């Protein structure tokens, strides 16, 4: 019970900080909206012919949804660096609680805030002609949770050894932008160079984007065209995300438990 209470307390603290920071919620919607509106409308006429008539804005929407979840999840781990600089983390680490529980609470908090951010983006789907059925919504929620948990664990893995906010942001920008751009969020990963194909295979974001795209476009585009736009069956994406989550979570918890 003490372990679960610690997880809940850390989760509740991060969630409360997020909900009270309205400026953060609103500003974090700016970049996805910019890509969706400017890129979606600007590039739609140019790429429509090469995508079998699929509306580029509808194709882009799952990528933007993944983007909102990805960046919110990873940057939620910045609170570890922030707490270290201002002394709160020291108080937590000397408390008679499990450090593993603290790390898991951070993962839960970051995943929840990313899920909320992604849910707000989902409300914009009708603006680009995408409409969901209840099974599609539930599948998207599950995939957003997996992407959020995976990338929050990745953020904690990096933040556990970072000593400054500037260093964390530089490292995240160095890693996140390539991960996002080679994930297929902006273009189909068909007939791409071999090096890009291999980068996409080892990129966890690829599997999240692919799963969300085939879920969001199901029933919206003909099945043969949908098969041309996706990479893997939904089950493969699900297994891959769980594997990446474990790959990031275990060392992240271990490194956090050794934090001084």
Contacts of 196 (CB under 8 A, 6+ apart): 182, 189
Each residue's pLDDT tens digit, 190-234? 777 888 888 888 889 899 988 988 888 887 777 777 787 788 888
Is residue 50 over pLDDT 60?
Answer: no
- What pLDDT, on a 0 to 100 scale, did the predictor assign at position 241? 92
pLDDT number for residue 88: 65
* Residue 146 confidence (pLDDT): 92
Residue 247: band (very low, low, confident or very high) from pLDDT cuts 50, 70, 90:
very high
- pLDDT of res. 244: 92
| Residue 242 reports pLDDT greater than 90 | yes
Of all residues in the chain, what percent carry a pLDDT higher than 70?
88
Q: Give the helix/strand (H/E) hosting 241.
A: helix 234-257
Domain of residue 137 covers 2-257
Q: Please calculate the CA angle 161-75-229 and round it to the nearest 5 degrees.
A: 120
* pLDDT for res 87: 63
Give the rounded percent of residues in the chain with a pLDDT score beyond 90.
8
CB 78 within 8 A of CB 168: yes
Q: DSSP assignment of 1-35, as one string?
A: -HHHHHHHHHHHHHHHHHHH-HHHHHHHTHHHHHI
Residue 48 has pLDDT above 60, yes or no: no
Count of domains forming the chain: 1
pLDDT reading at 171 higher than 80: no
What would the mean pLDDT of 46-72 be, rounded to a whole number? 75
At residue 219, φ and ψ (nearest 5 deg) are 85, -15
Alpha-carbon gap, residue 233 to 231, rounded angstroms: 7
CA dihedral sign of residues 90, 103, 212, 21:
negative
- Which residue is listed with tokens 């990805």? 70
Range scoring the smallest mean pLDDT among 35-49, 63-77, 202-216: 35-49
Q: 73 with 152: CB under 8 angstroms?
A: yes
Q: Using the 8-state DSSP alphabet, how is residue 186 labeled?
A: S
49 versus 59: the higher-pLDDT residue is 59
pLDDT, position 228: 79
Average pLDDT of every residue of the chain: 81
pLDDT interval class at 93 (50, 70, 90): low
What is the rounded distance in angstroms from the CA atom of residue 72 to the CA atom of residue 69? Answer: 5
Partners of 218 in the β-ladder: 221
Confidence category of residue 133, pLDDT binned at 50, 70, 90:
confident
What is the pLDDT averaged over residues 240-258? 86
């Amino acid at each position: 019970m003490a372990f679960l209470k610690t997880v809940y307390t850390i989760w509740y603290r991060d969630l409360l900080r997020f909900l009270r920071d309205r400026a953060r919620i609103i500003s974090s919607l700016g970049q996805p909206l910019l890509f969706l509106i400017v890129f979606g409308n600007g590039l739609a006429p140019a790429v429509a012919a090469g995508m079998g008539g699929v509306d580029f804005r509808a194709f882009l929407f799952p990528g933007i949804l993944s983007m909102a979840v990805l960046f919110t999840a990873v940057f939620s781990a910045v609170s570890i660096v922030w707490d270290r600089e201002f002394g709160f983390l020291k108080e937590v680490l000397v408390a008679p609680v499990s450090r593993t529980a603290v790390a898991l609470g951070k993962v839960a908090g970051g995943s929840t805030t990313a899920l909320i951010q992604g849910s707000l983006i989902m409300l914009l789907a009708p603006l680009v002609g995408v409409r969901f059925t209840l099974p599609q919504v539930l599948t998207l929620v599950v995939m957003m949770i997996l992407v959020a948990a995976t990338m929050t664990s990745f953020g904690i893995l990096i933040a556990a050894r970072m000593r400054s906010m500037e260093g964390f942001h530089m490292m995240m920008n160095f890693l996140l932008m390539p991960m996002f751009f080679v994930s297929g969020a902006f273009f189909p990963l068909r007939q791409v160079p071999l090096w890009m194909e291999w980068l996409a295979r080892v990129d966890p974001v690829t599997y999240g984007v692919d799963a969300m795209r085939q879920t969001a476009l199901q029933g919206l585009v003909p099945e043969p065209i949908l098969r041309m736009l996706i990479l893997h069956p939904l089950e493969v994406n699900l297994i891959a995300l769980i594997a990446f989550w474990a790959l990031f979570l275990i060392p992240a918890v271990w490194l956090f438990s050794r934090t001084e």
